[in-house]
A and B are shown apart, each in its own frame.
Chain A
Amino acid sequence: MKSRKNYLPYAIMLTPGLVWLFFISILPMFGIVMAFQDYNPGLGIFGSDWVGMDVFKYMLTLSDSKQIFINTVVIALGKIAGNLFIPLVFAILLNEMRLMGLKKSIQTIVYLPYFVSWIILAGILQDLLGYTGPVNMIIKTLGGDPQMFLGKSEWFRQIIVISDVWKNFGYNAIIYLAALTGINPALYEAAAIDGAGRFQRMWHITLPGIAVTVVLILVLSMGSILNAGFDQVYNLYNPLVYSTGDIIDTWVYRTGLLSLQFSLATAVGLLKSAVGFILITIGYGIAYKYANYRIF
Chain B
Amino acid sequence: MSIKKEKSDTRTSIAYLDKGFGSRLFDIFNIILLSLVALSCILPIWYTLCVSLSQKSYAAAGLVTLWPRGFNLTSYTRIMEDTLFWKSFLTSIERVFLGTLVSIGAITLMAYPLSKSNREFPARNVIMWTVIFCMLFNGGTVPWFVTMKSLHLNNTIWGLVLGTSLPMFHVILMMNFIRNIPKDLEEAAVVDGAGPWYLLFKIVIPVSKPVIATIILFNAVFHWNEFFNGLVLMSKAEDYPLQTYIQQLVVVLNTASMSEDQYKILSELSNQTLNAAKLFIAVIPVMVIYPMLQKYFITGITLGSVKE
Residues of A in contact with B (beta carbons under 8 Å apart): 5, 7, 9-11, 13-14, 16-18, 20-21, 23-32, 34, 41, 45, 90, 93-94, 96-100, 102, 105-106, 108-113, 115-128, 130-134, 136-137, 148, 151-152, 166, 170, 174-175, 178, 181-183, 185-186, 188-189, 192-193, 197-199, 216, 223, 230-231, 235, 238-240, 249, 252-253, 256-257, 262, 265-266, 269-270, 272-274, 276-277, 280-281, 292-296
Contact = CB atoms under 8 A, between A and B. Distances in A.
Nearest to A256: B142
A117 B227 contact: yes
A27 B123 CA distance: 21
A15 to B, nearest CB: 8
A105 B275 contact: no
A7 B121 contact: yes
B181 interface: no
Nearest to A94: B34
Given A175-B302, A240-B255, A295-B172, 9 more contacts: A17-B109, A29-B138, A98-B27, A105-B38, A126-B267, A178-B298, A186-B10, A189-B10, A276-B137
* Chain A facing B: main interface SS: helix
Contacts of B302: 174-175, 178
B73 interface: no
B141 A7 contact: no
A133 B251 contact: no
A120 B282 contact: yes
Contacts of B110: 13-14, 16-18
Contacts of B260: 148, 151-152, 240
B34 A97 contact: yes
B138 A273 contact: yes
A188 B10 contact: yes
13 contacts: A90-B37, A109-B38, A111-B290, A116-B286, A124-B45, A127-B47, A137-B65, A178-B298, A198-B18, A239-B256, A240-B258, A270-B139, A281-B136
Contact of B140 (A99, A120, A273): A273
Given A21-B165, A28-B143, A181-B3, A239 B247 contact: no
Residue among B14, B130, B163, B264 having the largest count of chain A Cβ atoms under 10 Å: B14
A137 B62 contact: yes
Nearest to B13: A189
A115 B18 contact: no
Residue among B11, B114, B276, B307 having the largest count of chain A Cβ atoms under 10 Å: B11
B146 A34 contact: yes
B187 to A, nearest CB: 11
B166 A230 contact: no
Interface string B123-157: 10001101110101111111111111001000000
